[in-house]
Every structure is written in C-alpha cells, then in structure tokens.
Structure 1
C-alpha cells in the first residue's frame, strides 16, 4: 500500500479460514436501525442499469460492456455524516449477478487506497468464472468515495501534468522535493479541481466504512460479506470495528498492520521492497546479460549507475513521453509486487542502459491504468487524498528523517541527492486525520475473519497479516511465495478452496494451515 506516488505505482493486478466460524454457529441478530437522519440513505432504492457511461477509461468502458449481465448503479451517501442534510456524494458500483442459488452480495475492494472496485468485479466474472463464488454471490465492486466513477472524485492534476511527470505527491523516496509554498499549492489545486476543501476533508477510511454499511443495506444484505486486498484490509478492519454486528464474513488479503503507526510501517514497507529487489537481483544474476550484474551484492550500485543519470538527462520518447529517475524507480517498485514480473523489470533496466524507455513506460501504464489516448485514472490522486485523511503527519524534520531512513534501508530508491527538502505533502490538508492509529482493537461481537498473508509480500509484510488476524481474533492463512495478494486471481487451488469454504459455508481452516504459490 504505497502512501504517495509520483507516478501511478499501483498494486499488482492480482486481487485474488481452527474452529467453526463463530458467525456460522450463532443465530442471526436483529440489526439496529440507522439513526433517524440517515434513514433515507439506508432505505433508498437502487436503480441498476446497463453500465454504459460508467467507465472512466476506455478500458473500463470496454470491460463494462463485455457482458450484458453486468449492472451498474450509484448510491447516494452524505458527504459529511455529521451533516446528513447537507451535500451528498454518490458511490458507483458494478454488480455481476449470481448464476445460481444466491447467498447475497460479496462486496469487493482492490486496495490502493484509490483502486476502483467496479473493474475488480468485472474482472471477477472471468477470473472467478469456474468458482462457486460466482454461482452463490453477486460480485459487487464499488469505487470508494473520491475514487473512479464515484462523485465527487479526487482530481489534482491534468492529463498533461501526469504525462509530463509533474505530479509529485511524494518526497520520501526518489528525487523530488516540495517547498512549503509548493505543498500549499498542491493542496489548493486538489481542492479546486475536486469540488472543494470539504471533499478533501471527507475521503478518509472511516467515511468510506460508513458508505460500505449503506451499500450493504441498500443491496438487501442483513450481514456484510466482504473481500478486501491490501488497503482493502484496512477498510474491512475499520468496518469491523465500527459495525461488528453487521459482519457475516471478511477475507482480508495482503493485510496492513492495524497496530503500526505510519513511520514504522513505511520503514517496514520499504524494507520489504528492498528485500524483493535483492531477490530479483539474485534471480537475474544467473541469466545472460543481466543489467544488474552477476554479483547480487553489487546490484544496487549498478542500478543506481543506470538510473541516476536520468535525473539530469531523462529519456524522451519520439512521442514526447519522459522517463526520469522517479518514473524508472516507480516502474521497478510497481513490478516488485509480483515475482512473475521481475524478468520484465530487468529487461526494462537493460533498455534504459541502451537509452530506451518502452518497457519501463509500459509497466507504468499497466500498473497505473493509463489509457491508450493518454488519459489517466485518478488512482494516485485518490491514494494521496485518502492517506492524508488516514495517516499520521510528519513535521518537515520528521519527513527528512523518514527519507534518510528509507534511503538507508532501501538504497535502490535513493537518487543520491540526500534527504534534505523532504516535506509531508499532507502538511496543509484542510482537515486532521480521522483514522486514529492504531485501529480495530478490542472489538466485541465480531465473527471469525480470514486474513491471508504471504511470506514474501513486498508491500504489506507477512508480520502485518499476523498482527491483523490476532487483533481481530480471527483466522490466519499463511501463503509461502513472492507476491502481493492472492485471493482473487483464481490461480492457486489451495487458496481458492479455503476462501470458498470460508465465504460459502463459514468454515475456517485448521490452525497453522499453509499454502504455497
């Protein structure tokens, strides 16, 4: 779960249970009525319709039109839950109807934050085509508030700024610095383009969790069944804290540690990225013409020799696209999420040696969702805004120290310019964070949850999943392998079977169960 990106560095496309689950042996509970001033939102009728016009990219438009069974809608929610009679927002969702004996809806979030759930549900029709999940559940993907097709959507940059790479919302890695005036202008530009400062103040996870409960109700489900990956595990855990009595089942895949504060989690995250970089270098070293060299111990230095010149002399393609240091580092980081992509990364690094940028830019396009016509989704902007409302904020001195530590433990990110000038881009955000770290602790009345954690996850370290499972008092599935998230792609029979047993029958695996990728 990257905090901020200077390029669209997204979560890899894979989105993918010892005792009888407590929820499986308890009697259904009567759900409390929502507070009176929210009744109109909870009781609204959802008008599903064909999905034409819901896609924010041509790829989404094509995907949403690929199956006439797909149905889309928007659900109205308060922009500010403390003022339900005021301004409203609309949450866009896509439903893939169950093909058989329906249990209910399976709501899905692909992470980020900022990842669009509508496209996740559309993809699920294919990736889960042979799964009993598509028979028994409506797959419902939703774009959280501020994201994708939901309105108002976070919008900080023009497509031209995105294309030029002039979209820095990070200073903890790479070459960028951000002045005080620049930080203020960044926030004001986001507010102006997104619909106002009140929009920026209400895109945090706690507001999104309240939206999720409205979605549960208007979809006709007494209890929530949920699958969240990466940041989606945070959204799920916060929902579990706020509405434990409304949970039926939760699969939390690639988990964020709810007990860890921002500074320490960033250090652990970049430690994981460096470990994956080192593993990639080791695999590359035994191949012919590895651009990182035959000695993995020299791989970081070799990489720096290749990409640091891009600071002053970026590669400009024939059609005017730019690959600078930050773009190259961002492409490598994106590819580290999945070990199957590592050969593509090293091929891209070799191209940079030769003054070419095609592969690196393609990695960024695939992971960031750039459209063929050069338009960009709002993933990185929504990621930035949501984290501003969730995360602890650093003083300039703390941000410099964080960048220094990251350069120390993840030297492949180091542009060689030192940490000075690092500044928290959220410093002048118009509202204070609302998540309250740590979160989701001491929950009463929560049924068993299933947390999946991968031993070689570069972004959400394995120990974070262990911590989340323990914090929620739920089940843990350990998966041995090198990637980020596994529960949605449909490629691992061991994981698939355990997830299906849990979601369909509320049956958890024995303690210490492991799968291997």
Structure 2
C-alpha cells in the first residue's frame, strides 16, 4: 500500500445485489493455546474500561470522543520486547463500544494503514453499522496499534515544518526525488530520536501487534477471538491466524494484503491495479466533452505525463503564491484512484493544470488534506511499521524497483529517470521482522471469511484469493470498484454475509458474489 502524505477520506460508492448463503457447521472445538509462563502476568491482567478523557490525540478524535457515554476506554499492558518480557512495557490504547443488545462478546477491529488509529475506527464503524446485527450482538473493540495514536510509545519522525513542506519526501522509491544515503540516514535519525530510541522502533512490527492481540483476547476474558480487519489489518489477522490458529472463533478480512508476495512484488501488483484504474478513469472521462485528459483514452497517460512531469523541475504557482509540485499531484491522483467518485476531481484538476492554472488542484488537495498534520502521527507510524515489516532493499534493488513500478504504472513516471531511488528504511537502526514467509495453508483454523473487491486498486483481488486459500476459508467477491466495504455498512449484500458469518458462523456459498453499484466506472 503506497505511503502518501495526503489523508484523503474518499467515499466508497457501493450498493448491492444478491448473495446465496450456505450454512456451514462449525468445526469441533479445539482448546486455545496457553501462554508461555513468562507472559502469564500479561495474560492475567484485567482491563479497567472507563472514561475516554485523555485518550484523543487529534482534533478529529477529540470531537468524536467528547461527551459520548457509550464509548469506554482502557489501556492494555504488553511487553515492549517479547524476548525481554521482564523489561519495558508498551500501553495499548483501546476503545469499546458496547453491543446494543445481548452481547456475544467482543469483536476486535483493525483499521489498516499501517498507522490508522483503531480507537477512531471502532467509533466510526459503530456509527456506520448503527442498525446492523453486528453492533447488536458484539462489543466493538478498536485499538491503536504499536506506535499509533494514544498507544505508548508512539512513533514520531517529522516536524511541523516537514508536514507543511509540499516538497517533503518520505518515500524514496516512487517519487521524483534523487535520494542519497544521507537522506535515508536523516529519516532514520529523526525517527529514532523522536520515537524514543532504537529499542522503541524495534518494537513496532506487525508480528508484535499480532502477539498483543492474543494478550488482548485473554484480558477481554475470551477463550477465542472474534476479529475483523481491513486493508493492512488483513496482514494482522493473517499473522494472528498463523501464530494462534486454535484461538480463533471467527475472522473476517476485507481487501486483503497478499501474504505470499514480498514487498517489491506486492507493490508492483498494486501499481498495476492503479494503472488499470487510471485507464478506466480516462475511458470514463473521454465520453465528456470537457475531459481534462482528452478524448482519446489510449493517449491519456501521455497527456497526464505532459501535464505533470514539468512540475518535477518547475512547480506551477497558484494565485495565492503557493507552489503545486509533481509530488503533490501524483499523491493526490493515487489517493483519488481508490474510488470512482473522486475521478472527476483528478481529470478536472489536470485539465486546469494543462491550462497553467494550479488553483483547482491546490483547492482539492487542501480539502482532502485537511485534518492531517504534526498532531496526527499516521505518517510516522506508517513509515516505522513498514520499516519493521518489509525486506530492506539495496540502492541497486531500489533503482530496479522504481523502473518496474514506472513500467507497470507509467502515469507515475516523473520523467527524471530511475537514478536516486532508495529504500527509505536503508539506514534503519534495527533489523526488520519481516511478515513473510507464510505457509501455503494455515492448519487448525475454523472457517474464515475473506471479502475482496474485483477492482481494488491498493490490495488487488488476486491478494484476496490468495489469502482465502491460505486461511482455508470462504471468499466473498465484491464485483466493482473501491477499497474495503464491510465496515461501511453501504452494501446490504455484504452486510448480510458479514453479520451471518460473525453471529452464526455461516459462510457464503462457493463462488458467492455481491454486486457493487456502478458509479462512474464502466
């Protein structure tokens, strides 16, 4: 999943059609795995849920949490380093939204990212599923994962000036920047210093988060875990399933990260999907007389490049004196390709850029980027978690990867050549804890449910197929465009399958599909 400084909250436009459900008998119960003796004190802790005062770390969360008596918060203590259980600890911030009816227990949610705050996710999911049987029968549990939000220690890498700089680069592979070893060293130093040292950075891996969830399961008083994760949250679910298969009651993963693809191959697959979405956007736009990409879809990539590549060396100046850079336009385009509702903003903005007008694009970026900034550590957490999860690339491998990505998604090509591509994590002070490799099949799991959208840009449908096979569970295909769907509550077909599986452990029939209502995509 690409890292971008833009925090676009794009609407998922999808309404449903039909789904056939097949009742499946749950497997025979297996006893959950017990914890190692040295971790017993963490497993034995009791959570003290109470007021959420003091938990908000952003203006959005302060507004969301304020005065809502339904929200209850607590902190879970876990080892900072699982190899040193008697050493320093981390405190995982949690938010609970109690079930509206008779509860079947907690449903632990993971918001994705990496770096998206999970407490906020529980609150917004509760609102989106306000009339769903899921919120009727489950207590929703959201948590800020290691390094994120109100959890301590929290990741920090960038200053207010860094966030405000439109030309700041935080990723050195897909960019126009010709990075150096000094650039990667500076990022590593900033993250190390501002996050409290290398020992804290070394604790921010997804493998550690999966282990935290098992302590959370026990502290919530549950023998078996109910889990829902989307996007990057599917990686956390898969890691938990791999480590604790006997401790799962139900698991839903939506818009899956392919567990078998290494970093470079996964990025190439994702950018192939972005190019597919770009081409679909161009075809849709071409039918309109004022299309900013022109009336020939086959020429749209070239038209886009001709408009934005010059900005890599000469940013376009808006009427207020601000500069529109290549990086700003590309970051926005990637964000907008997630959902067809946003496509006209790209094509309209590019049309104005071609006329020498930066104001339209700057205004759109301002609107989508509102609410991000130094008080929100999403970007720092995303960088630090990815640096712990992924294989590190040499400069030569980074150059090769940039070439592969631009060949796969040529609309992103800056025209500046591939020299200067570097792995942001090249100078990281601690070794990675890669989330790979995965077994072809995880044994000992109960039936699971994977939901995958056919035209998902950032987690391609092939990844959903792959994860469903790895989990040995059911695949529910959502036919349409978008990224993640179950938590939105917008598709009755998805809603029904989601609730029936979680409550009754019934999985969809083989080949089951929900139709997402077309928006602007053809």
TM-score, structure 2 as length reference: 0.93
Question: Which of residues 355, 358, 371 is equivalent to 1:356?
Answer: 358
Contact 1:15 1:486 in 2 (8 A): no
Distance 1:66 1:162, change over 3 A: same
Q: Does 160-169 or 345-354 show the bigger shift?
A: 345-354
Superposed displacement of residue 305, structure 1: 2.1
Write the distance in 2 (CA, Å) between the matches of 1:259 and 1:349: 37
Q: Give the total of aligned pairs.
A: 510
Superposed displacement of residue 310, structure 1: 2.2
Superposed displacement of residue 185, structure 1: 1.6
Q: Does 142-151 or 10-19 show the bigger shift?
A: 10-19
Matched ranges for 1:228-247 at <5 A: 228-247=229-248
Write the distance in 2 (CA, Å) between the matches of 1:15 and 1:189: 39
Matched ranges for 1:182-197 at <5 A: 182-197=183-198
Partner of 1:274: 275
Superposed displacement of residue 348, structure 1: 2.9
Contact 2:336 2:342 in 1 (8 A): yes
Matched ranges for 1:338-377 at <5 A: 338-353=339-354, 354-357=356-359, 359-360=361-362, 362-363=364-365, 366=368, 370-371=371-372, 375-377=374-376
Write the distance in 2 (CA, Å) between the matches of 1:319 and 1:92: 41
Partner of 1:331: 332
Superposed displacement of residue 351, structure 1: 4.2
Partner of 2:172: 171
Partner of 2:309: 308
Partner of 2:489: 490
Partner of 2:296: 295
Distance 1:422 1:37, change over 3 A: same
Matched ranges for 1:412-423 at <5 A: 412-423=411-422
Superposed displacement of residue 9, structure 1: 5.3
SS in 1 for 2:113: coil
Task: Tell me, yes or no, if structure 1 residue 385 matches structure 2 residue 384.
Answer: yes
Write the distance in 2 (CA, Å) between the matches of 1:369 and 1:218: 37
Partner of 2:82: 81
Superposed displacement of residue 140, structure 1: 1.0
Write the distance in 1 (CA, Å) between the matches of 2:57 and 2:364: 20
Write the distance in 2 (CA, Å) between the matches of 1:285 and 1:498: 37
SS in 2 for 1:488: helix
Task: Tell me, yes or no, if structure 1 residue 252 matches structure 2 residue 288.
Answer: no
Task: Tell me, yes or no, if structure 1 residue 26 matches structure 2 residue 25.
Answer: no
Contact 2:447 2:473 in 1 (8 A): yes
Partner of 1:58: 59
SS in 1 for 2:495: helix
Q: Does 188-197 or 438-447 show the bigger shift?
A: 438-447
Task: Tell me, yes or no, if structure 1 residue 140 matches structure 2 residue 138.
Answer: no
Partner of 2:423: 424
SS in 2 for 1:268: helix
Contact 2:117 2:145 in 1 (8 A): yes
Write the distance in 2 (CA, Å) between the matches of 1:212 and 1:465: 22
Write the distance in 2 (CA, Å) between the matches of 1:187 and 1:455: 37
Compute the RMSD of aligned alpha carbons. Answer: 2.2
Superposed displacement of residue 15, structure 1: 12
Deviations 1:33-69 (A, max 9, x none): 3222212211222222222222221111101126221
Contact 1:157 1:167 in 2 (8 A): no
Deviations 1:359-393 (A, max 9, x none): 55644763x6634xx54522122111111111122
> 5+ unaligned residues in a row in structure 1: which ranges?
none
Contact 1:290 1:346 in 2 (8 A): yes
Distance 1:358 1:496, change over 3 A: same
Write the distance in 2 (CA, Å) between the matches of 1:184 and 1:396: 13
Distance 1:94 1:224, change over 3 A: same
Superposed displacement of residue 314, structure 1: 2.6
Write the distance in 2 (CA, Å) between the matches of 1:479 and 1:494: 9
Write the distance in 1 (CA, Å) between the matches of 2:195 and 2:145: 15
SS in 2 for 1:156: coil
Write the distance in 2 (CA, Å) between the matches of 1:364 and 1:449: 40
Partner of 2:71: 70
TM-score, structure 1 as length reference: 0.93
Superposed displacement of residue 196, structure 1: 0.6
Write the distance in 1 (CA, Å) between the matches of 2:374 and 2:367: 10
Superposed displacement of residue 31, structure 1: 2.9
SS in 2 for 1:399: helix
Write the distance in 2 (CA, Å) between the matches of 1:429 and 1:502: 42
